Structure 1
Amino acid sequence: MTSAIPALSRRLRPLVAAICLGAVSVVMAEPAFARGPEGIADVAEKVIDAVVNISTSQTVEAKGGPLGGDNKSTMPKLPPGSPFEEFFDDFKNRHGGGDKGPDMAPHKTVSLGSGFIIDTAGIVVTNNHVIDGADEINVIMNDGSKFKADLVGVDKKTDLAVLKFAPSKPLTAVKFGDSDKLRLGEWVVAIGNPFSLGGTVTAGIVSAKNRDFASGPYDNYIQTDAAINRGNSGGPLFNLDGEVIGVNTLIISPTGGSIGIGFAVPSKTVAGVVDQLRQFGELRRGWLGVRIQQVTDEIAESLNIKPARGALIAGVDDKGPAKPAGIEPGDVVVKFDGKDIKEPKDLSRIVADTAVGKQVDVVVIRKGEEQTKQVTLGRLDDGDKPVQVANKTPEPAEKPVTQKTLGLDLAGLSKDLRSRYKVKDSVKGVIITNVDENTDAADKRLSPGEVIVEVAQEAVSNAADVKKRVDQFKKDGKKSILLLVANSDGELRFVALSLQ
């Protein structure tokens, strides 16, 4: 007992000090929003009936042994007469396996998630991963009533799904707010219905915006410390006006429970996806027909762009909308349809969100000057395409070097070198036959077999052309030089190499 007294005394000291300073000090010592703003309860009461539980079932094939997987690999091998042999034989028999293993009949698995009603006609939004592969989907209301739902459409790229059910009573629906207006530190409310026992409410703040995990081409998450736990996936994130400003999708946690790092797809993205799924049952994203890359400080300096910004066009699809509009490799897109492009991800998202067939103005910087191109967007083929594995470049038997510069051994594209490095006939330029490991070229991952197509946005046909351009840039006091490089298949990228 006595050992607790000093500790208690230490905890009471601040309170005693506050009391000694008078009533004014006591009031100032208590934070104004220690438990959050008063409006949270009003928001929860207003919208909670619109938040539903999503219950799914799926038929799966049994995989073999009693522990899952092949019976021979999951059951231990026991010598005849072992004291444990009788125990495991009994275990197999009780699970219907006998000597042939367990019953291989298919069985159902059940999963739970959350969703929310956006239309009193029975339209529900949730995550795709909540209903992915489901044979049956049910919507369970806050009062426990249950309805069978049909799938309207899904978008795997943003992990969103739209469901529809036939209500037998009036519904509460919620509206989307403008996630672009969210501010860091703003209070938000996460509501889920993970166990079909009624809604659960947690509150927190917006701790970050525009989070990108490279999990998809359109990542742009809202980060919040409002607790998002298992079963809350697909539930809404509200602002204090009761508007949906996000769909809770991801958490980062070593335990599976909330540690204050949760992520929601912003409502601006959700609203556009939902509209298309309701209208078409699928996503119809805009397509520009270009390959893009980051504008690094070195590339910006080489292209005379200050400050570094935009999306660098590394390649143009011959059959894409950008080609007839006059967009070329080396152009830097800084504005698309009136919206500023700060980095490549901005261009990807904005193009995808733009209507197919719309004519838009695209502002590019070419050789230091702004130009405006008019493009009529095509439709992106959003099917998942297999990733091509690059062939390993064979070691050359000899190095027919004609020039050496920037840590690169360069040669003309002879038939022998084309064959050795499997370079397509359509690729023109100067081939790299060796890269010095202790140079900027190696740091930028240039490798033998790649072809330099342009130097400082001028085509080169032999090694002497490359060295001449490099020497001139050094003489002019330039800090770096921009190369357009192709791989053996002709895919292009820009690389800025230091001249110092």
Structure 2
Amino acid sequence: MMKRKEFMLGAIAGLTFAAAATAGGVIDWPSAQAGPVAGVTGRLSPNAGGSGLAFAPPQGAPLSFADIFAQVAPAVVQIEVRTRVQSRQRFVQIPGLGAVPVPGAPPTEDGEDAEAPTAMGAGSGFFIAANGFIVTNNHVVADATEIRVKLADGREMEARLVGRDESTDLAVIKVEGTDFPFVSFEEAAVPRVGDWVIAVGNPFGLGGTATAGIVSAQGRDVDSAYVGYLQIDAAINQGNSGGPTFDIYGRVIGVNSAIYSQTGGSVGIGFAIPASVAKPITDRLMRGETIERGYVGVGIQNLSRDQIEALGLPSDFTGAWVGEVTPGGPAEAGGVRIDDIVTQMNGVPVRDRTDLTRRIGQVRPGETIRLEVLRDGRPLALSIRVRVRPPESELNNRPGQEQDDPAVVEGAGVSVGGLTVAPMSDTLRRRYSIPAAIDGLVVTTAETVGELNFRPGYVITRSAAGPVRTPADFEAAIAAARRANRAGVYLVVWTPQGHTPIALPLPKPE
């Protein structure tokens, strides 16, 4: 499945999702009262004392997490990476900051002796086996040319990349040696919302730091269709990526991965990859396996209640709406079209886009799946031969995927449904850089209808009744929705970011 894009009409909310990847400087690793690693070997099995519920705090908690931290901290490491800077800009090397660009300096000349500049970054990780395997985030080590690990006792070791999985943002690296202190993923018990957690890592390169909080939510669908994140309010900042999230007994229940923030700093919303996802992936990476997932080549999203109502579908309808079909991909070969709604896969109903993405990802490449789709209100069965999913970096950097919004240019047209629109023409196509494959009714004036903000260059391509090519088609769709006593008219709109379904509020009858 293609990585999902959020197609939005109007302003994007100010919050930014920031992967807590690297810190600018690198500072010596303090022990943080973790005690020396020397002489500590084997699996770390903390004993918080007292029996009870799976995640109930032992007697005395949460007065202090000191005993748990002291027992598990020796397994947590600081990771320093060196990466190549892909630029011909002139740089100066500043200790602790790596390569810093020189403003106004002429570009370097290519030559055999030219040496690409490098930059330093920092993250976190933890030993998962006594023989030196370390779990971290993919985005910490993905572009590294050199990886070094600092243990809690101050020892520094060179590490090598064993394997990584972009889709879940997990990676495994290894240092040479034996008898390292290590911790284990908790496989049996599932943390509940409200259970205590401790996040340990290397924020801003400061080294062994512990923060505490609770599980705030489960199954958050943030940036990966393959991970239902644990949301925690223990402070996570840049450099915490890849560190462990412990429960009150010192068991690893997650891998710190990202934050949701306006500033890039912690605001109490952090995300951890749950152990149920991290353990099977890291086990396979440790065995040297490559993580392969099924792929059909569609961009999908969920329909809102308003959009479902505008289509005249039942209120409990579920499925995944197709907004993009990759040229030459398996889905195109199998007959999938934009505006299809996938309702079943292999006879099992599709709940939403995440459900469909994960189920296709579990299919072995080369196998054939059967998709039931709703097209123009009629059911249709399609057979698709699944391929291997390309790397996320390839999927996220397709030509033309990230385009700037067209300039706001007032244009001529007729007013329909609160919008000024005009049939597609060569002039409009050139003005708004509309691809040749896109046809429909062009919005020529910036308008706000309900909560939807339209910009010149958006193209209305379809309604529930079929293609929209003229103002008359648009008016007919509005009239049909009004006759059906619907609150809105279902439309498919193309923007520079792709197709999106909308429910346009019906204008008042004149």
Q: Describe the SS at the equivalent of 1:119.
A: coil
CA distance in 2, matches of 1:484, 1:319: 23
**Other structure's SS at 2:185 match:** coil
Q: 2:127 aligns with which of 106, 117, 122?
A: 117
1:163 aligns with 2:173: yes
Cα contact 1:62–1:106 (8 A) shared by 2? no
Quote how far apart the aligned CAs of 1:125 are: 0.9
Distance 2:347 2:65 in 1: 37
For the structure 1 residues 435 and 297, does the alpha-carbon distance in structure 2 shift closer, same or farther, using more than 3 Å as the test?
A: farther
User: What is the distance in 1 between the residues matched to 2:481 and 2:84?
Assistant: 66
* Distance across 2 between alignment mates of 1:187 and 1:310: 36
CA contact (8 A) 1:424 1:488 kept: no
Q: 1:412, CA displacement in angstroms?
A: 4.4
Does residue 1:313 correspond to 2:342, yes or no? no
Q: Deviations over 1:452-494 (max 9, x none)?
A: 33221423454333323432332332322212334589x5332
Deviations 1:350-387 (A, max 9, x none): 54565544544545455667766554332333224162
1:275 Cα shift?
5.1
CA shift in 2, pair 1:55/1:357, >3 Å? same
Q: Which structure's relative contact order is higher, taking Cα pairs within 8 Å and 6+ residues apart?
A: 2
Per-residue CA deviation, residues 227-255 of structure 1 (Å, 9 max, x unaligned), is 55775442211345654321123457899
Tell me how many residue pairs correspond in the alignment.
429
Query: Pick from 478, 486, 491: which aligns with 2:486?
Result: 478
Match of 1:63 in 2: 92
Give the alignment partner of residue 282 of structure 2, picking from 271, 274, 277: 274
Q: Does 1:152 align with 2:162?
A: yes
- 2:190 counterpart of 1:181: yes
Aligned to 1:36: 61
Q: Distance in 1 between matches of 2:496 and 2:133?
A: 50
Aligned 8 A contact 2:342 2:373 in 1:
yes
Q: What is the match of residue 418 of structure 2?
A: 407
What is the distance in 1 between the residues matched to 2:285 and 2:431?
49
The answer to which of 119-128 and 170-179 deviates more is 170-179
Report what 1:291 is aligned to: 299
Task: Answer with 357-366 or 464-473: which moved more.
Answer: 357-366
Native 8 Å contact 2:203 2:239 kept in 1: yes
Q: 1:145 to 1:428 in 2, by over 3 A?
A: closer
Aligned residue number for residue 51 of structure 1: 76
Say which SS state the counterpart of residue 467 (structure 1) adopts. helix
Contact 1:251 1:263 in 2 (8 A): yes
1:347 to 1:141, Cα distance in 2 relative to 1, 3 A: same
* Counterpart Cα distance in 1 of 2:120 and 2:327: 48
> Where is the helix percentage greater, Structure 1 or Structure 2?
1
Are 1:246 and 2:254 matched, yes or no?
A: yes
Match of 1:458 among 457, 463, 466: 466
SS state of the match for residue 473, structure 2? helix
Deviation at 1:200, TM superposition (A): 6.1
Q: 1:454 to 1:157 in 2, by over 3 A?
A: same
**CA deviation after TM superposition for structure 1 residue 257, in Å:** 8.5
CA, structure 1 residues 278+395, in 2 after alignment: closer, same or farther (shift >3 Å)?
farther
1:366 to 1:109, Cα distance in 2 relative to 1, 3 A? closer
Q: CA deviation at 1:395?
A: 4.7
TM-score normalised according to structure 2 size = 0.65
Residue 338 of structure 2 corresponds to: 329
Quickly say closer, same or farther: Cα 1:45–1:342, change in 2 above 3 A. farther
Quick check: 1:392 aligned with 2:407? yes
Cα pair distance change 1:499/1:195, threshold 3 Å: closer
Contact 1:451/1:488, CA 8 A, preserved across alignment: no
8 A contact 2:407–2:456 mirrored in 1: no
**In the alignment, which residue of structure 2 is the partner of 1:20?**
none
Q: Match for 2:403: what amino acid? A: Q
Larger radius of gyration: 1
Structure 1 residues 246, 448: closer, same or farther in 2, change over 3 A?
same
Correspondent of 1:376 among 356, 369, 385? 385
Q: What CA distance in whole angstroms lies between the structure 2 residues aligned with 1:180 and 1:338?
A: 32
Q: What residue identity is the alignment partner of 1:312?
A: W
Q: Distance in 2 between matches of 1:425 and 1:357?
A: 32
Give the direction of change, closer, same or farther, for the CA distance of 1:240–1:467 in structure 2 (3 Å limit): same
CA contact (8 A) 1:333 1:365 kept: yes
Instruction: Indicate how the Cα distance of structure 1 residues 245 and 70 shifts in structure 2: closer, same or farther if over 3 A, else same.
Output: same
Q: 2:377 and 2:188 mapped to 1: Cα distance?
A: 35
Compared CA separation, residues 341 and 37, structure 1 to 2 (3 A): farther
- Look up the SS of the partner of 1:63 in the other structure: strand
Confirm or deny: 8 A CA contact 1:204 1:225 kept in the other structure.
yes
Moved more, 310-319 or 124-133: 124-133
Structure 2 counterpart of 1:471, one-letter code: A
Taking structure 1 as the reference length, the TM-score comes to 0.66
**What code does the residue aligned with 1:149 have?**
A
Map 1:66-85 to 2 at 5 A: none
Q: Is the 8 A contact 1:51 1:141 kept in 2?
A: yes
Q: Which SS does the other structure have where 1:471 is aligned?
A: helix
Q: 1:200 to 1:318 in 2, by over 3 A?
A: closer
1:126 matched to 2:133? The reply is no
Structure 2, unaligned runs of 5 or more: 1-55, 106-114
Q: Are 2:506 and 1:499 equivalent residues in the alignment?
A: yes
